[in-house]
Amino acid sequence: MTSLAPPKWNSQKVNEAVQQLQSLSTSNNRLNMFLRGYFVDSLTRIAMNLVLLRQLIRPGDCYLDVGSLGIEPAIVKSEIPSCMVKALSYEGNRIGVGPDGFFETDDPHEASCVHIEQVDVERQKFPFPENSFDVVTCFEVLEHLKYSPIPMMKEIKRVLKPQGCLVLTTPNINSARSVIRMLCGRSPQQCTYFHNSLEYGIIHPKEYTVEEVRDLFASLGFTVELLDTADMRPTRFPEQALILLLSAANVAVRPFLKQIAYHNGFHEKVMVRAKKGGPIVSETPVSLFEPTLRRSAG
C-alpha cells in the first residue's frame, strides 16, 4: 500500500531524484538554462513530487498535471511509456526527455514529448471527458489564481476517476518561515515580487492557510485522505525552533479553541491527497468568500 505521508526533503529517494534532475538539465538549450535557475529554489520540491508520483502511478494509468511546467510529466512519460500523460498550462508547450536531458520542440509528431495543452485553467474547461484520469496533480498552482479557485477545482473533480487520486500542493501562509518574515517586517507570502515585464507576473495573488484549503476541498465534496504541511527544502535553526514552539503552543491552547492549526501545520507547504468524493456542497466556501449580506451592507 502506498504511504499517505509526503516524502521527506532529505530522504535517500529524494536525493536520488535531485541528482537525476540535475543530470537532465546540464545542456545549454533554452529550456535547461531556465531550469537551472528555477531549480535554485525548487529542486527538492520537484524531486519530492517525482518520488510521490513513482509511488502513485502504475503502468497503463492516465495522468494529468494541471498548471504544468512539464518537468514531472516528461519524466513520467519517459519512465512509464504505457502511461497516458496529459498536461495543461496557460502558455502551452511540448517538453520531453532525450539523450541530452530535457528539451522542447514545436514538432507535433515528436512521440517522446508531453504536449502541454494551452488552457487557462482558471477560466476554461479542461479538454477531457469526465472520469478520465487515475492521477491528477496540481503542484503550486492554487496560489497563482487571480479570481477564484472554484472553476479549476470543479474541472479537476470532473475529470478525476471515482477511485482516482488528486495531489495538490500550495504555500502555507501560516508557516514558521512566514512568521519569521513578518517578525522581520516583511510580507509573509513566499512570492511577493512583481516581474519587471508587464506580460508576466510572478506574484502570488493569494496564499492559503491549512484551514482554507480544508474548507475548499470539503465544500467541493472531495474525500480528503491527507491534509498536512511539509518542508520541501532545507530548514534553518530559527525555523525549526519556531515550529517546535508554535506546535507546543498549539497543543496548550487546543482545548480552548474551536478552530486550531493542525499539530504539524507550520511547515512550508500545504499538501493534500484526495479522491473525487461526492456531490458539491457549496461553491462559496465560507473561509474564502465574502458573505453577500456583508457586501451589500457596505
* Helix-strand-coil split of the chain, %, nearest 5: 35, 20, 45
Rg (CA), the chain: 19
Average of pLDDT values for 193-213? 82
Q: What one-letter code names the amino acid at 39?
A: F
Domain spans in the chain, listed from the N-terminal domain onward: 142-155+166-285
pLDDT at 243: 65
| Residues 253-293 pLDDT 10s | 555 544 444 445 788 999 999 999 999 999 999 999 987 64
Q: Which among 105, 102, 123, 129 is positioned nearest to 115, based on CA atoms? A: 105
**Mean pLDDT value across residues 196-207:** 77
Query: Rounded to an integer, what is the distance from CA 161 to the centroid of its chain?
Result: 19
Task: Write down the pLDDT at residue 294.
Answer: 43
pLDDT (tens digit per residue) in 32-75: 999 999 999 899 999 999 999 999 999 999 999 999 999 999 99
Mean pLDDT check: name the lowest of 131-140, 170-179, 218-227.
170-179
pTM of the shown model:
0.89
Provide the pLDDT for residue 297.
Answer: 43
C-alpha pair distances (Å), 202 with each of 146, 151, 218: 11, 21, 29
The H-or-E segment that residue 214 falls in is: helix 210-219
pLDDT at 175 over 80: yes
The dihedrals phi and psi of 181, each to the nearest 5 degrees, come to: -60, -40
